[in-house]
Structure formats: structure tokens, C-alpha cells
Amino acid sequence: MDTTQRTDQQRSADRRRRELLEAADRVVLRDGPGASMNAIAAEAGITKPILYRHFGDKGGLYAALAKRHTDALLEALRAALDAPAERRERVEATLDTYLAAIEARPQVYRFLMHPAEGGQPGDAGFDVGKASAPVLRRMGEELAEVIEERVDLGPGSQQLARVWGHGIVGMMHAAGDWWLGERPCTRAELVRSLADLLWGRLAAAGDRVGGPGF
């Protein structure tokens, strides 16, 4: 029962866990977010209880799965966010990176954003936002950090940055979701339109004929 022994076991368990996650990934990508534990186990060549031993419950498995993809996505976003360029270019690069990601793998995106809850009704009260897609939260928080650290916002900058972080992420997400469903324009056009919005073009635009505009 010395250290190497234990490390071996742990390594084996970790490898197994990765294999299971990869199998789960395949199934979720094939069957959608409603994929059953049985299906995942079958894909991995084993049976349900093993999944439960590794991940506790379905939420655990999905959380682990989501973490993988979220980490990957955040990595890509960070790169775009930290690129050496001026602000507008960075914003556009970040938007484009996100949109390219959801465009390339819509199933992954769908899984991350609409995890299909499934919470038993016997659960506790309404912890609003707790069951919501945590991906957006993480993205919002990270963006807030970058903003607060890079942009000079005067007093109350931290709160402002957080609001903006979550707001911008939400804008990106909603616009991306809609765009992915309808494909009304190219990705570049979408990026440009959103950046224009953030650059205050709504405030700068004139009214249309007939009274005060929106």
C-alpha cells in the first residue's frame, strides 16, 4: 500500500474516467442532451452502476462533461481576449471565436447551454440561477475580470465591469443562438453588427420619421 501503488490505482481510475467521459461525449453528441445513463454506459462498454461510482449521479457526469468543453472554450476565448491588438479588434476577435466555436460544434453548444435540468421536484426552494447554464456565468465573470483589469472605468469600476461582463456575454449568447438557428447573415456580419452595438451606434443613430425614436 505504498505511494506508487496508490498512484497506479489513481492513474488507472483517472484513465477510466477519461474514457468514460469520452464515451459520454460521443453519446451526448449523437443523442442530444437527453441521452440516458444506460446509453452512455453501453457506449462505454459497461453498465450503469459504474458510471454512478465514478460520477455520483447524472448531474455529476454532466458537470464533468460540461467542465471539459467549457474549459476548452474559455481557453480559446482568453487567447482572443489577450491578443495584442486594440480594443475593438479584440472584441471582434472574441465574438468571432465564440461564434466560430458554436458554429463548428452546435451539439456541444446545445449541451452546454441547455443541460435539461431534470431536478427532482422534491428539491429545495428556487435558487434562481443555480441550475442555469454555468458556462455563461463563468464567461461573464472572466470577461468582467478582463474588463476591470484593462479598462479605466472610474469609481465603481468593479461592479460596472461585472454587469458589463455578464451583459456582453448574454448579448453574444442570445445573438449567437438566434443566428445559429436562422443563419440570417454571415458570421463576419454578425460580429460587426454586435461590435457596432457595443460601440454605441444605437445611441448615435438618428430617429426615423415621425416622432422620437426608440
| CA atoms of 116 and 59, how far apart (whole Å) | 10
Beta carbon nearer to a copy of itself, 10 or 36: 36
| CA atoms of 91 and 97, how far apart (whole Å) | 10
Query: 16 touches which of DNA, a copy of itself, none (CB within 5 to 8 A by kind)?
Result: DNA
Query: 155 touches which of DNA, a copy of itself, none (CB within 5 to 8 A by kind)?
Result: none
Least distance (Å) from DNA to the CB of residue 70?
20
Evaluate whether 99 touches 187 at the Cβ level (below 8 Å): yes
Cell numbers at residue 9, please?
490505482
Query: 86 touches which of a copy of itself, DNA, none (CB within 5 to 8 A by kind)?
Result: a copy of itself
Least distance (Å) from a copy of itself to the CB of residue 207?
6
Length of the chain (residues): 214
How big is the CA angle at 132 (ends 126 and 134), to the nearest 5 degrees?
A: 130
| CA atoms of 138 and 29, how far apart (whole Å) | 22
- Kindly list the residues in this chain that would bind DNA in the complex (CB under 7 A): 1, 5, 9, 12-13, 16, 36-38, 41, 45-50, 52-53, 57-59, 118, 120-122
Query: 17 touches which of a copy of itself, DNA, none (CB within 5 to 8 A by kind)?
Result: none
Least distance (Å) from a copy of itself to the CB of residue 10?
33
Least distance (Å) from DNA to the CB of residue 6?
8
Cell numbers at residue 23, please?
464515451
Q: Cβ of 135: how many Cβ atoms within 10 Å?
A: 21
| CA atoms of 138 and 146, how far apart (whole Å) | 12
Query: 58 touches which of DNA, a copy of itself, none (CB within 5 to 8 A by kind)?
Result: DNA
Beta carbon nearer to a copy of itself, 6 or 114: 114
Query: 52 touches which of DNA, a copy of itself, none (CB within 5 to 8 A by kind)?
Result: DNA
- In terms of C-beta distances under 8 Å and separation of at least 24 residues, what long-range contacts does 23-32 make, across chains too? 24/61, 24/65, 25/65, 25/68, 28/65, 28/107, 28/111, 29/105, 29/107, 29/108, 29/111, 32/107, 32/110, 32/111
Least distance (Å) from DNA to the CB of residue 31?
9
Least distance (Å) from DNA to the CB of residue 40?
8
Beta carbon nearer to DNA, 57 or 89: 57
